[in-house]
Structure formats: structure tokens, C-alpha cells
Amino acid sequence: MTMPKLFQVVTLYRMQEGSGETLYRVRVQEVGPNTLVLEVPLGPKSIPVRIPAGERVRLGYTIEHRAFYTFTTVALDVEGEDIPQLVVATPRQEDIRKVQRRNFFRVPVALEGKLKRPDGRGVPVHVCDLSGGGFSFKSRLPWLALEQELSGTIRLPQSDVEFAAIVRRLEYLEEVQLHLYGLEFTQLLNAHRNKIVKYCLERQSKLLRISPP
């Protein structure tokens, strides 16, 4: 059985103009033979995002913390007044696809990036690891908050990629007195994601070649 489980947190991907996707984390509230009931996704300032009936969306989730699965479905309805819930169609088993986790495999890097603060000012950052799903960087200043949303660019060897992201991880590294921030991409052109994945695979291959036996 490869369906998401009751109360499991899954990723909802909503297609945007320009072939990008916006990502939301939602919890499964009900699992039925014909429908799945999900939390309504929340946008900036925790404002509910209304997804109209008939719109196609994609869900992604893990099974036993190992395999990653995804399927495309269609929004059917929004239930509830006080606590709205999104109803989507249950997919057929043959429509559920197992995804190679290499797209989300992080590799150590040393890349330059720039994040845009809420006041519009750009802040340079040094990206220390990267994957098709997000990146991390270290800073001496505690200037970001968990779940904070922001945009920016990362400079790859051949081109810059633009993104929107959300802060998913905060950690203070006491031994080096640095703050570690982990960000998840929430909006990224598929062409840019492919560039990142290609760079990560090439980077990993290079690291393996120079590693001592």
C-alpha cells in the first residue's frame, strides 16, 4: 500500500505560471476509497489558499522514511466553515509514481547566493549544501525565523537560479558559533531545478573521485 497515511504530513505542489510550482505542507485528515481530505494549504501570514474544484495538483510523501512517492490528482471541494478542508480524488494505484530521491540528495558546496530581506535589501550568503529541494547556509547573525518566507538567487557555475523558499531548520553550532539555516524551495522553475540537480550530481561525482580510498 503506497497511499499516504492518516495524519501524515505531505507536500502539495500547485502549478504556477512559467512552469514553476508552489509547495505547501498539509496534513492528511481522512483517507477514503474515493477521496482524500487534507488541510487547506496556508499562504503568507497563514492565510488559507483556496484551490478551486477541478484544479489539478500534485502530492508527494514518504513511506517509512525511505521511498518517496508522488501522484497527480484533482481538487473536488472545500469542506467546513470554521476549519476548511481540501478534498481531492484518490488516485489509482497505477498512477502513484516512485521518485528517485537523488533529486533531493544534498551535497556539500561552496556557492554564493543572495537572499532578499523583508525590507527589500539583498543579503549575501555562502551556501554550504544544496539539493533539488533546498539548501543550507551559515551566518554569524540570527536574522531569520522558522517558517519565514523569502526569495533570492544562487549562483551556479554556469548561471544564476532564482527561487522562493521557506526556513525549515534553525540550529546554533556552538563549536563554531554560527547559526545554520535550512531552507526548502517553495517556488522554482523546473528548468532551474534541473540545473541544480545536474550540478549536484556532477559535484557528487567529483567529490567521490577525489576522496581517499
Residues 113 and 191 in one domain: yes
Residues 195 and 115 in one domain: yes
Digit-coded pLDDT (tens) for 56-77: 998 988 876 567 788 999 999 8
Residues 175 and 200 in one domain: yes
Do residues 12 and 27 touch, judged by C-beta distance below 8 A?
no
**Span 29-36, mean pLDDT?**
94
pLDDT grade for 20, boundaries at 50, 70 and 90: low
Structural domain ending residue among the three candidates 81, 99, 117? 99
Residues 66 and 165 in one domain: no
**Residue 31, φ and ψ in degrees, nearest 5:** -125, 115
Higher per-residue confidence, 138 vs 172: 138
Residue 86: domain span: 9-99
Residues 109 and 148 in one domain: yes
Digit-coded pLDDT (tens) for 72-120: 999 998 876 677 899 999 999 999 988 765 556 778 999 999 999 878 8
Number of H helices, E strands in the chain: 1, 13
Structural domain ending residue among the three candidates 70, 99, 128? 99
d(CA 186, CA 165): 5
Q: What's the gap between Cα 88 and its chain centre?
A: 20
Digit-coded pLDDT (tens) for 39-53: 998 877 778 888 999
Digit-coded pLDDT (tens) for 174-200: 788 899 898 989 888 888 988 998 898
Domain at 36, CATH number: 2.30.110.10
